[in-house]
Structure 1
């Protein structure tokens, strides 16, 4: 039983780590943006690539009560060619344009520095690009353009849809976009979205409605969590893997229930002897609970140990993220399902008649 629970806990933890890895790898850019709200064009379905707003809307948004700061955001998924210490390397990247010092981009670098507000041609890279050989001082040319970005620092946990990000100024982003997507060159001074940080105590729902009203209801302003779940595939990935985790926990409960039902059946005579000498149903039920707790504790501990060992063997390309919250959820879920499974044997215990079980009438 301990071995079975160990395998189930191991499976739950691996699936949870995969779910967390995919989620954090896809949403890091928005979580690093330090924004409470994001404003998109109304017909964009909260997708950056489909949204386009006049840059001048920033002033209108900033005047809305409850908005502490606002910043423009632009994105572009592209291929880059690295030079310097990683010459010729082709890398996948997501280019983010923002106004340094405003919502929409990271507020600190884990190494080096971030671009300055009026500094063109430089970028901070997500630290995952170091695996591709990118270092501070290297230059990355965005494919299809003549724009070359010099790397001045690294950020952490800021990937976008599992791609490493480059953070540059909104002016540099416009220059890259106009060359990479010439059909948008005549769009004027536009951005894809705005990121807003709220004043303390402001209601996100109230401010979001006020922003949309101030812009003539041609926008859709949503909270950061809604914006995150609107990214392509994020909600579906999370929901699918969560359902698999819940199903595995349910299997743990079923396995525990079957185990204790079998124990009750096999030890019916011994249990009848205990009842005959005065053991109560409550006493026997407590014994089952204690056994269940011991098995769940042993299975959880071994499952955690094997998961950490397996993490050392998993290739770095696999997006696994082991978090304390997921481990705690798996442990609590195992104990709850184990106790519920053990509870199904209580009825069998209560129905044992010592006289009948021992061959009497």
Structure 2
């Protein structure tokens, strides 16, 4: 690492510029990662928190994938699913848009109708009671006991539920029978049936027997339109930034290798092995990558912590450490492009240059 540390010490401007570029790329990647996770959570949190491992949708037309927006199920299908082999518990769930009015002020929400005593209900619900997302309640000054108006009917808030969102809207949990009376329910019995299953459950055969399309939890999340479209776009942006990072690092170290070609030739002439020079170059690359990407990750974490008060930002190991490691890995791949020139350095070049 002698040459690597010497270069870092005497070419501070160049390496500061490179570190700054990696800092900015890392800042953008980690920030996007946190926003991707945060936005995704605002679309799927209510479905994830139900705790079902499978969901039965109304069978879509041929060639179409399952979708919460287009699915309807009947109480007959629900009863058949509850009796199917391998099903430990089943709960019919209705999903519909709703308008909540309190003291003349209206807010939009998603109404989830469930059996108030089933596993799908976040709390026990009665005919005239509802549970609402805690953030929605705090934003509007609602508390337990607040009376709200939905579709001309009065309900009482009996519980506040943390992190309860669906398709970027806060969720209001209500009894299934009350949900069926909402005009936005369109007269349907429900949207999906949530299932808890055990070994021996065959999703395909159960779906065929009940006229439904049964999917696992991941498939159910992908059936939420806002989740798949947003996540796909943001992940593409992250991928592009990773590629840019690899190209920037590769270009920088390739040019840097060309410029210090004579130094490398001299080292080879006095006995340095090719392996030593390759290790030296990779060590130098790793120092710059870890420093630049690490500082960018820390800055993004701090920025995300502050921003999470007003925007959906998720700060976890998967949104900080994983992007940081991915940036270092892709950067090292880019830096490896310069190793070819190092391996081909001719020690006679040093003698020729000295003449």
Of residues 150, 154, 166, the one that matches 2:160 is 154
- List gaps (5 residues or longer) in structure 2: 1-17
Give 1:346's aligned residue: 339
In the alignment, is residue 77 of structure 1 matched against residue 97 of structure 2?
A: yes
> 1:118-267 to 2 correspondence within 5 Å?
119-129=126-136, 130-142=138-150, 145-175=151-181, 177=182, 179-180=183-184, 184-185=186-187, 190-199=189-198, 201-203=199-201, 206=202, 208-215=203-210, 218-267=211-260
Consecutive unaligned residues in structure 1, runs of 5 or more: 107-113
- For 1:80 and 1:34, the matched residues in 2 are separated by 26
What do the CA deviations read for 1:318-361 (whole angstroms, capped 9, x no partner)? 32222211212212211211211121111111122122244259
Q: Which residue of 1 aligns with 2:118?
A: 102
Q: TM-score, normalised by structure 2?
A: 0.87
Q: Partners in 2 of 1:50 and 1:305 — Cα distance?
A: 43
What is the Cα deviation at residue 47 of structure 1? 2.9
Match of 1:111 in 2: none
Q: For the structure 1 residues 284 and 267, does the alpha-carbon distance in structure 2 shift closer, same or farther, using more than 3 Å as the test?
A: same
**Separation in 2 of the partners of 1:245 and 1:6?**
15
User: Which structure shows the higher helix fraction?
Assistant: 2
Structure-2 residue corresponding to 1:305: 298
| Aligned CA distance change for structure 1 residues 235 and 344 (closer, same or farther; 3 Å) | same
Encode CA deviations 1:220-249: one digit per residue, 9 max, x unaligned: 111121111011232122122111111111
Q: In structure 2, what is the Cα distance between the partners aligned to 1:46 and 1:133?
A: 37
Determine the C-alpha separation between the residues in 2 that align with 1:65 and 1:17.
40
**Candidates 26, 30, 38, aligned match of 1:21:** 38
TM-score, with normalisation over the residues of structure 1?
Answer: 0.86
Note the alpha carbon deviations across 1:134-192, whole angstroms, 9 max, x for none: 222222212xx1112211112222200010001111112112x2x456xx45x6xx222
Aligned counterpart, 1:33: 50
Secondary structure of the residue aligned to 1:48 is coil
Q: Distance in 1 between matches of 2:216 and 2:246?
A: 37
> Aligned-pair distance for 1:308?
2.4
Alignment length (residue pairs) = 333
**Once the 2 structures are TM-superposed, how far is the Cα of residue 317 of structure 1 from its aligned partner?**
4.3
Question: Offset at 1:15?
Answer: 1.0
Distance 2:82 2:235 in 1: 38
Shifted more, 256-265 versus 311-320: the winner is 311-320
Partners of 1:78 and 1:94 within 8 A in 2: yes
Change beyond 3 A, Cα 1:53–1:313: closer
